Chains A and B, each alone.
Chain A
């Protein structure tokens, strides 16, 4: 089960956020879980008292999707987008824009599924219109609520020391 369940989030380009995650299932199932409303409602953003109350999908190029989440105290968050590429069970490209925009412009999501020995590596890339938009999106995510520890950044910095150590000859 090594590497299954570990989510890697990186910002390898100015406008992008890339997430990688391994699932212990063939990609056919992962693709279904990502494109069928009754399945998406079971997992996407469903935690902390939130449910994916509305999930409508018109799975064809140029077709749209619509998600509305409902949270505690009647809070709602809606988003929609249009499918640009659909290659079952390996690739899905769609735009995303929120009803109440929290970053400028719309973003483009690309989901790529690769299968090895019955397991699927899902790589999700979110490409924003500008670096500013990407940074705002990231910051908003933070303001939604996590007081994360200092440990992770310390680890990151320490690993940079380890990497830089040999080149600087220290």
Chain B
């Protein structure tokens, strides 16, 4: 899969509140399908469907441990997805830090230009 197609898959998987809630639960560690289904008014097959989407997007991995089917979070696709907003953010964050410095300079210049109006000395 290309980088861009991979992001599409990640975001399609994240575009559902149940799946985001499942991922949120998994940030606390590995959990069984039964544990993950508990907070939702949903059948286990319905939850399993969501888990399938998350697994295909590479957001979780599943394994069997005796009777239990366990899920865990996989970090890499999430790192890419959070970088998505981050790149946009960076342009403005870096720019605005420059703007801070410029505004400080403008304020100083304005105070110097009108020393009597301020009346603070």
Are A and B associated in one complex?
Answer: yes
Interface residues of A (CB under 8 A from B): 4-5, 7, 9, 11, 17, 19, 21, 23-25, 29-30, 32-33, 39, 42-48, 124, 135, 137-150, 152-154, 156-158, 160-161, 164, 168, 170
Inter-chain CA distance A1–B96, complex, in Å, is 15
Contact in complex: A161, B27 (CB < 8 Å): yes
Q: A135-B11, A141-B91, A153-B78 are in contact. Are A146 and B83 (CB under 8 A)?
A: yes
Contact in complex: B87, A145 (CB < 8 Å): yes
Residues of A within 8 A of B20 (CB): 157, 160
Residues of A within 8 A of B99 (CB): 23, 30, 33, 43
Inter-chain CA distance A48–B100, complex, in Å, is 17
B93 to chain A, nearest CB (A): 5
Contact in complex: B104, A25 (CB < 8 Å): yes
What does DSSP make chain B's interface, helix, strand, loop or mixed? helix
Return the chain B residue nearest A147 by Cβ.
B83
Contact in complex: A19, B27 (CB < 8 Å): no
Residues of B within 8 A of A45 (CB): 91, 95
B107 touches A (CB below 8 Å) = yes
Q: A29-B107, A42-B102 are in contact. Are A48 and B86 (CB under 8 A)?
A: no
Q: A23-B99, A45-B91 are in contact. Are A139 and B86 (CB under 8 A)?
A: no
Q: List 17 A-B contacts (CB under 8 A).
A: A23-B99, A43-B95, A43-B98, A43-B99, A46-B98, A124-B92, A142-B85, A142-B86, A150-B75, A152-B86, A153-B78, A153-B79, A153-B81, A153-B82, A154-B78, A161-B27, A164-B39
Residues of B within 8 A of A46 (CB): 95, 98
Residues of B within 8 A of A149 (CB): 79, 82
Residues of chain B from 45 to 87 with CB closer than 8 A to chain A in the complex: 75, 78-87
Contact in complex: B84, A142 (CB < 8 Å): yes
Residues of B within 8 A of A145 (CB): 87
Contact in complex: B27, A146 (CB < 8 Å): no
Residues of A within 8 A of B82 (CB): 148-150, 152-153, 156
A146 to chain B, nearest CB (A): 5
Residues of B within 8 A of A135 (CB): 11
Contact in complex: A7, B96 (CB < 8 Å): yes
Residues of A within 8 A of B94 (CB): 47-48
Residues of B within 8 A of A47 (CB): 94-95, 98
Inter-chain CA distance A48–B87, complex, in Å, is 13
Return the chain A residue nearest B83 by Cβ.
A148
Task: Say which residue of A11, A21, A138, A150 sits within 8 Å of B79 (CB atoms).
Answer: A150
Residues of B within 8 A of A5 (CB): 96-97, 100
Q: Which of B4, B23, B89, B107 has the most CB of A within 10 A?
A: B89
